[in-house]
Amino acid sequence: MQRVEMTGMERIVFHIDVNSAFLSWTAVQMLLHGEKLDIRTVPSVVSGDPQDRRSIVTAKSIPAKKYGINTAEPVSMALRKCPGLVVVRGDWEWYKKCSEAFIAICRTYSPVLEQFSVDECFIEMTGRVDKKKAFAAADALRRGIASRLGFTVNIGVGPNKLLAKMASDFEKPDRVHTLWTEEIPDKMWPLPVGDLLWVGRKSAEKLIACGIKTIGQLAVAPDNVMLHIFGPKGARTARDSANGKDDSPVCTQEEEAKSYSAERTFPNDISDPALLDRQLFNVACIVAHRIRKDHFAAGNVSVFVKTRDFISRSRQHSLTFPTDVTAVILNEARRMIPDVWDGVTPLRQVGLGVSRLTHDVPLALFEDEKMDYYRQWDAEYDDRMTALEKKDRHYRDGRSKALKFSYASGEKALKAAKASVREGAGRTMSRKPLPDGTDCFEVRDSEGEVLELHMVVSHLV
């Protein structure tokens, strides 16, 4: 990964987050088509079908929040809370255009840009602006997006990604906030511990039960409490985060393309080694197929798991020779599983990644005698996948028009999908991963049209 050399200067990172993205983008679309009412100024929500009260809320306006309306709840419930609520239909193709335009403007400020989601990104500003002028630069970017695209953003400015992200979540909408290292005691430490990035709901509940209610208290929490709640690695990460420490680089898309990974989030936590191995096999097949399709071989394999408490553990290992063979990648991952899992603790997610990619595959002098069989199996798998991808192209085009929802866990995605089925007559649900391996539950109407995709996205955890 590319890192910006500090050479004595303080690092500067911006985090840009669109305010109420789907609702704001819908408002802009409506205004462009002559609608006089700006739905951002009144209680309003975006949903699948405005005529169907059994559809669910995708996004809400700030005035709607005052009525206690929440995303992912049925529109019928939202209407009971606010009878005058304006309900509008979402348009994913339009959202995609808005997202691309937003990212393009941010990229003019820095080519080192990491898209964190469809409506937010990080940009590395170190060396492009000094600390004294960082706020003014961020404010110019904020105003530029509003004037050119018609919607507002919040921008957080800080010395790393963590603090920039925390700053952008301060008062909304249409604001620029800083969170420098010297501002942590006043701006971050008084916040509830659950507001700290990467601290999940269950971990926050455990911390509060131990008397740790604020981020500041977490920053100085006893080691034994931290180890009990987060484990050794998680404890270090949590303490560093609470103290505003983060050295992760802003990764450009080109850098991200230097590795491949896939993951599976389970609808129900699993503790059966055989079930875990089957899921590991599935993600290994996906990753190996991708690198063969792009004519790569991998020199490094990594594996990670996540517990029900969102504690992640990972290991990686370099291979003697680069490979694109599924069995070799899978067996290397299997050898690392005992290093990341005790075989008992319930798991909610497993993932596998490969890196150190090359187009040159050296000939191994002493290959496994089963290698010919492995390669034949891979060739047949690739043929099946290619046929399915061609056959499925029209189906995926239909999916692109569906409303998308993102969740931090398979359990939440499944629950929301089931709720949507219950709320709509004739609706059905099935678990069908996206082509890139993202775990997904799709909801169809009585005629088979895909209405909603409930996706598991790991960065939301």
How far is 142 from 124, CA to CA, in rounded Å? Answer: 16
Q: Is the domain of 79 the same as that of 177?
A: yes
CATH number at residue 230: 1.10.150.20
Among left, alpha and beta (phi > 0; psi -120 to 50; other), residue 244 is left
Q: Is 249 inside any structural domain?
A: no
Q: Is the domain of 383 the same as that of 403?
A: no
Q: Is the domain of 382 the same as that of 423?
A: no
Hey, what long-range contacts does 277-283 have (CB within 8 A, 24 or more apart)?
277/334, 277/337, 279/350, 280/330, 280/333, 280/334, 280/337, 280/350, 280/352, 281/330, 283/350, 283/351, 283/352, 283/437
Tell the burial category of 387 from Cβ atoms under 10 Å away from its Cβ (0-12, 13-18, 19+).
exposed
Q: Is 122 inside any structural domain?
A: yes
Q: Is 344 inside any structural domain?
A: yes
Q: Is the domain of 451 the same as that of 375?
A: no
Tell the burial category of 171 from Cβ atoms under 10 Å away from its Cβ (0-12, 13-18, 19+).
exposed
Mean pLDDT for 330-344 is 92
More confident site: 56 or 182: 182
Q: Which of 391, 412, 442 is where one domain is finished?
A: 391
* Parallel, antiparallel or unpaired: strands 13-18 and 440-444: unpaired
**How confident is the model over 77-96, as pLDDT tens digits?**
899 999 999 999 888 788 88
Say what the pLDDT of residue 459 is.
Answer: 41
Q: Is 234 inside any structural domain?
A: yes
pTM of the model: 0.57
Q: Is the domain of 222 the same as that of 130?
A: no
Q: Which of 149, 166, 187 is where one domain is finished?
A: 187
Name 355's bridge partners: 300
C-alpha distances out from residue 16 to 155, 351, 400, Å = 5, 28, 25
Question: How sure is the predictor about 312, in pLDDT bands with cuts at 50, 70 and 90?
Answer: confident
Q: Is the domain of 326 the same as that of 412?
A: no
Q: Is the domain of 147 the same as that of 14?
A: yes
Q: Is 248 inside any structural domain?
A: no
Q: Is the domain of 286 the same as that of 378?
A: yes
Mean pLDDT for 8-33 is 89
Average pLDDT, the chain: 84
How far is 438 from 456, CA to CA, in rounded Å? Answer: 7
Q: Is 83 inside any structural domain?
A: yes
C-alpha distances out from residue 420 to 139, 280, 343, 454, Å = 40, 30, 35, 10
DSSP secondary structure letters along 402-455: SEEEEESSHHHHHHHHHHHHHHSTT-EEEE---TT---EEEEE-TTS-EEEEEE
**How confident is the model over 268-281, as pLDDT tens digits?**
889 999 999 999 99
Q: Which of 341, 365, 391 is where one domain is finished?
A: 391
**How confident is the model over 427-443, as pLDDT tens digits?**
888 888 776 667 788 88
Q: Is 252 inside any structural domain?
A: no
Contact 23, 172 (CB under 8 A): no
Residues acting as catalytic residues: 120
Say what the pLDDT of residue 157 is.
Answer: 97
CATH number at residue 453: 3.30.720
Q: Is the domain of 168 the same as that of 217?
A: no
Q: Is 60 inside any structural domain?
A: yes
Q: Is the domain of 58 the same as that of 153?
A: yes
How far is 160 from 363, CA to CA, in rounded Å? Answer: 43
Q: What are phi and psi of 228, to 5 degrees?
A: -65, -40
Q: Is the domain of 354 the same as that of 418?
A: no
Enumerate residues 6+ apart whose C-beta is below 8 A from 449: 398
**How confident is the model over 358-409, as pLDDT tens digits?**
865 554 434 556 788 888 899 898 888 877 666 554 444 555 567 777 777 7
Is residue 7 over pLDDT 50?
no
Sheet holding 176-178, edge to edge: 113-117, 120-124, 13-18, 153-158, 176-178
CATH number at residue 363: 3.30.1490.100
Q: Which domain holds residue 371?
A: 258-391
Is residue 25 over pLDDT 60?
yes
C-alpha distances out from residue 257 to 69, 82, 318, Å = 39, 46, 19
Q: Is the domain of 56 the same as that of 106?
A: yes
Mean pLDDT for 279-284 is 93
CATH number at residue 19: 3.30.70.270
Domain count, the chain: 4
Determine what percent of the chain is predicted with pLDDT higher than 90: 40
Amino acid at site 328: V
More confident site: 66 or 259: 66
How far is 260 from 61, CA to CA, in rounded Å? Answer: 37
Say what the pLDDT of residue 9 is.
Answer: 62
